[in-house]
């Protein structure tokens, strides 16, 4: 388990992190979210000992040692490959830095190229690959040594939906193998789909910490999805409805001022008759993200 306890970091007059604490158990995925400058990369750099910080970070109950760093897979936000090398040379070189033998690494390269559908062979030069295929090679470099701790900084950035799905499967496979995984993303759909737990930072402070259901439940069931022959204008007149969004003709999302008005709205809409859709839910993670970020500008 990765355990982060009360870490803080200040750069000159800027407080990048303030008393941040959370755990990432083995075999679980934690999503670290927040707007640009919230402290996500600083958290990763603290874990990797790239920077000095106040507080305590432990792995499997002890401070990270040089041997532990050989079991970490790290994908930085800024991608960097040596473009003059071939795919094989690049992968082998980075695997050797993790004390993995060149022979064993070469045996696995073709399997990984197939898994990520890389358009190229092991002898292709990095410079000849498209940006997307270069990114997939860097992902292979991050994963091929089967890390026990996986740190991914915006791993889905620039990936199309097909390649994003390939990465999701690789992340889930690493989780099933027992890896502790932490990743950042601005795409709340990916966070919702993958994470067992999430932490949100805002200006270096932790403002949300829990499972997706725990976090969403904090905000109450203020989103009401309905399918009805009522117009948006008429729905907006219902007591407790703050505003109405039209999703499709006849399909609406009602934002409620109070979750308790749900039963009254149900009775008004149905009047004892069947209704195709009436689903009262907490806000989505994407909506919660916008709400928490918006507090900075309130």
pLDDT in tens, the chain (298 residues): 999 999 999 999 999 999 999 999 999 999 999 999 999 999 999 999 999 999 999 999 999 998 999 999 999 988 789 999 999 999 999 999 999 999 999 999 999 999 999 998 999 999 999 988 998 999 999 999 999 999 999 999 888 899 899 999 999 999 999 999 999 999 899 999 999 999 999 999 999 999 999 999 999 999 999 999 999 999 999 999 999 999 999 999 999 999 999 999 999 999 989 999 999 999 999 999 988 887 765 5
For residue 280, list its beta bridge partners. Answer: 224
DSSP-derived secondary structure letter, 170: H
DSSP-derived secondary structure letter, 57: E
Residue position matching structure tokens 């106040």:
54
Count helices and strands in the chain by DSSP H and E runs: 11, 14
Q: What are phi and psi of 100, to 5 degrees?
A: -100, 140
Long-range contacts for 246-255 (Cβ within 8 Å, ≥24 apart)? 251/225, 251/226, 251/227, 251/277, 252/225, 252/226, 252/227, 252/228, 253/223, 253/224, 253/225, 254/223, 254/224, 254/225, 254/226, 255/222, 255/223, 255/224
């Amino acid at each position: 388990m990765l355990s982060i306890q009360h870490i803080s970091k200040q750069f000159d007059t800027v407080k990048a992190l303030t008393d941040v604490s959370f755990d990432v158990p083995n075999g679980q995925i934690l999503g670290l979210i927040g707007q640009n400058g919230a402290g996500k990369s600083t958290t990763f750099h603290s874990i990797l000992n790239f920077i000095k910080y106040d507080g305590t970070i432990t792995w499997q109950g002890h401070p990270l040692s040089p041997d532990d760093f050989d079991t970490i897979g790290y994908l930085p936000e800024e991608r960097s490959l040596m473009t003059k090398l071939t795919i094989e040379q690049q992968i082998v070189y980075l695997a050797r830095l993790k004390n993995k033998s060149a022979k064993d690494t070469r045996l696995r390269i073709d399997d990984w190229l197939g898994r990520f559908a890389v358009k190229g062979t092991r002898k292709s030069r990095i410079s000849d690959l498209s940006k997307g295929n270069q990114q997939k090679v860097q992902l292979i470099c991050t994963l091929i040594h089967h890390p026990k701790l996986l740190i991914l900084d915006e791993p889905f950035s620039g990936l199309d939906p097909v390649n994003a799905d390939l990465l999701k499967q690789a992340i889930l496979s690493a989780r099933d193998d027992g890896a502790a995984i932490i990743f950042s993303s601005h795409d709340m759909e990916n966070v919702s789909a993958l994470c067992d737990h999430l932490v949100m930072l805002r200006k270096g402070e932790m403002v949300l910490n829990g499972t997706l259901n725990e976090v969403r439940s904090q905000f109450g069931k203020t989103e009401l999805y309905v399918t009805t022959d009522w117009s948006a204008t008429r729905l907006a007149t219902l007591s407790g409805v703050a505003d109405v969004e039209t999703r499709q003709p006849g399909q609406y999302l009602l934002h409620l001022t109070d979750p308790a008005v749900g039963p009254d709205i149900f009775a008004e809409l149905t009047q004892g008759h069947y209704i195709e859709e009436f689903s009262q839910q907490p806000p989505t993670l994407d909506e919660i993200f916008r709400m928490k970020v918006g507090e900075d500008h309130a």
